[in-house]
Structure 1
Amino acid sequence: MWFSYLSALVLVVWFVGLPTDRLYQAAWIIAGLIAFTIDRSWREHLKVLTDWLPLIAALVVYDLSRGVADELGMPIRVTELVTAESWLFGGTIPTVWLQDHLLGPHGVPPWWTLLTGIVYTSHFLVPWLVAAVFYAYSRPIWAKYMRRVLVLSYLGLTTYILLPAAPPWFAAEVGAIDVPVGRVAGFGFGIVPLDVSTRWLEAQGNPVAAMPSLHAGFAFLVAIALWPLASRWWLRIPLVLYPLAMAFALVYGGEHYVVDVLAGWACVGLAIVLCRMWEGRVGLRGAGERTDVSLAA
């Protein structure tokens, strides 16, 4: 069964593309969990659905609510972030500096744009693949991880609604940054033309969801969640590099400021603290969630 599942997934990715839509992605995750444990009883398969569906529903609500952030009439923070970034780096905007030094003539992305594209796009896949692996490995670990995913998502949503902020590329379009800023993170991997992938991002993304950067936040959360499972020091090297690589791709790509990245990391810390407080209050950090390996978060 697992071979049929993987074959179908490869074909769909090849001909249709990566499953990034929330419900579409969730369907593949649930189908995969069932396919790789097909020998279990139907009651256990039903439990997969009852475990995942409430969480998926909460994340769908988050997705639908994100678009409300730019429709409530709250003032969009544009110049404030430019000022903060310039002050933090002595008058330099890191996005502008990186694009000036790393883009080729006429703004042509370098050959390694494929790598930044992979890192950037991993945001849509890696956190949910980690969730699926945790679920197969240990339901208590999965439950703790998903609590933090939900709290982090809604912390970001609350900020987007109360303090909508624009990314560097938007600031350049409205003149708050006096030089052009391209969206050159590499989404599309060079297979999709840069202008086409940029238009897709503009259509699908939220232009007032710059701070905090949940791309940066989720990369950091994944690294923290996997840290205790990395039993050897060299396994922890990619866990350190992943959030740093994501931060570079976001800032260089014109999608976020450094202050957005730092805010995203801070939100991870806040999410962990809030979850630990709640877990301690209801007794989930005791015997009810004791496992061989516990999440550092």
Structure 2
Amino acid sequence: MKKLSLNRFWAIEENQHFTRFTKQNIVLALSTSVIYFIWFSQVVPYRPEHSALYFLMLTLFYVSGVTRSFLKAMLPFIIFWILYDSLRIIPNYVVNPVHIKQPYEIEKYLFGVNDNGVRLTLNEYFSKYHTPFLDILSGLFYINWMPVPFLFGIYAFWKDKALIYSFTYCFLFVNLIGFVVYYTYPAAPPWYVAEYGFIEHFNIMGNVGNLKHFDALVGTPIFKGIYEKNANVFAAMPSLHSAYPVIVLYFAAKKRVGYFIVFFVIFCVGIWCSAVYSNHHYVIDVLAGMTCAVLGIVLFNLFVRKPMIKYILPL
């Protein structure tokens, strides 16, 4: 087979003169636009952010060769967002039974603490004994669950084109593993137990949990605005919030970022602790997220050795 792999598609804007309005580009943009808006109107309920993402992609595609290359590199992030947003089409609670009491009891047994003779989960303990300092600190860590991986992606794009593709596609791969677990083992988060007990309540939106204290302290409903749009309530296991810092840490170490590695280690620990403190995840969810990340990284590194993958993707 002649060595004309699809890598040419990924690198063409940097190796050749940038072309903006070719027949191929126009057909690609139009066909993608039609599919995109059919999906986000007829299948997934339309929201304004769908248009915002569309126009951002269109702008990056047409402005310059650099922005088009950046769009290609960040495509896995976009695919992840579209897939996650589309999970609402078939909620995981209609696929498998929701586990509410079981994870709570496992958590209390393994990681519970005694408070005046009463055994509490760490979530319950911190809900009872939260402090303004930890409210702010946990909120600052948790709000960066996605910005830090995205910023690392921008850094990798400018510093190491090979690394950026491995990073973003590994990120997507880990998410796909997490989505499979979501549907295999639907699990209620700690805030659900605090709000509803062990009774099943479907068709409810997300809850801000203990991040409400952060919103109150800063005087802006930041997290409320985020979580009230989340229809994927029973997806506490695994905690993908806890998986992302592991992916970033791995690729940062691979890039040999020097002393900056300390920042990524702190980010990992901060996210893990905040996931529990915020009442959004149990410790077992966090451990499952970490395991998901490690498993995803190992499998991804094995997967990309396949000749067909190297033919399709710039890895």
TM over 0.5, shorter chain? yes
Unaligned segments of structure 1, at least 5 residues: 1-20, 36-41, 104-109, 291-297
Q: How has the CA–CA distance of structure 1 residues 242 and 208 changed in structure 2, closer, same or farther, with 3 Å as cutoff?
A: same
- Take 1:24 and 1:165, find their aligned partners in 2: how far apart are those partners? 31
How far 1:134 sits from its partner (Å)? Answer: 1.2
How far 1:77 sits from its partner (Å)? Answer: 0.7
Task: Name the residue aligned to 2:124.
Answer: 96
Task: Name the residue aligned to 1:216.
Answer: 242
- Take 2:51 and 2:167, find their aligned partners in 1: how far apart are those partners? 19
Equivalent in 270, 285, 290 of residue 265 of structure 1 = 290
SS across alignment from 1:280:
coil
Task: Name the residue aligned to 2:193.
Answer: 171
User: Given that residues 77 and 163 in structure 1 are in contact (C-alpha distance below 8 angstroms), is that contact kept between their aligned partners in structure 2?
Assistant: yes
How far 1:79 sits from its partner (Å)? Answer: 0.4
Aligned-partner residue type, residue 288 of structure 2: A
Residues 1:246 and 2:271 aligned together: yes
Normalising by structure 1, we get a TM-score of 0.71
How do residues 113-124 of structure 1 correspond to structure 2 at under 5 angstroms? 113-124=135-146
- Take 1:54 and 1:227, find their aligned partners in 2: how far apart are those partners? 21
Aligned residues: 251
How far 1:201 sits from its partner (Å)? Answer: 1.4
How far 1:175 sits from its partner (Å)? Answer: 1.9
- Take 1:182 and 1:53, find their aligned partners in 2: how far apart are those partners? 29
SS across alignment from 2:177:
helix
CA RMSD of aligned residues (A): 3.4
Aligned-partner residue type, residue 151 of structure 1: F
Residues 1:140 and 2:162 aligned together: yes
User: Given that residues 95 and 183 in structure 2 are in contact (C-alpha distance below 8 angstroms), is that contact kept between their aligned partners in structure 1?
Assistant: no
How far 1:281 sits from its partner (Å)? Answer: 2.5
Larger Rg computed on CA atoms: 2
1:46-67 alpha-carbon deviations (Å, 9 max, x no partner) = 4444444466235412321255
Task: Name the residue aligned to 1:191.
Answer: 218
Q: Sequence identity, in percent?
A: 24
User: Given that residues 189 and 280 in structure 2 are in contact (C-alpha distance below 8 angstroms), is that contact kept between their aligned partners in structure 1?
Assistant: yes
Range 213-222 or range 92-101, more displaced: 92-101
- Take 1:58 and 1:113, find their aligned partners in 2: how far apart are those partners? 29
- Take 1:66 and 1:48, find their aligned partners in 2: how far apart are those partners? 29
SS across alignment from 1:245:
helix
- Take 1:26 and 1:218, find their aligned partners in 2: how far apart are those partners? 25
- Take 1:228 and 1:256, find their aligned partners in 2: how far apart are those partners? 29
- Take 1:261 and 1:206, find their aligned partners in 2: how far apart are those partners? 17
Residues 1:282 and 2:282 aligned together: no
Unaligned segments of structure 2, at least 5 residues: 1-48, 113-118, 200-206
- Take 1:66 and 1:171, find their aligned partners in 2: how far apart are those partners? 21
User: Given that residues 86 and 92 in structure 1 are in contact (C-alpha distance below 8 angstroms), is that contact kept between their aligned partners in structure 2?
Assistant: yes
How do residues 152-163 of structure 1 correspond to structure 2 at under 5 angstroms? 152-163=174-185
How far 1:271 sits from its partner (Å)? Answer: 0.6
- Take 2:169 and 2:302, find their aligned partners in 1: how far apart are those partners? 12
Normalising by structure 2, we get a TM-score of 0.68
Q: How has the CA–CA distance of structure 1 residues 125 and 33 changed in structure 2, closer, same or farther, with 3 Å as cutoff?
A: farther
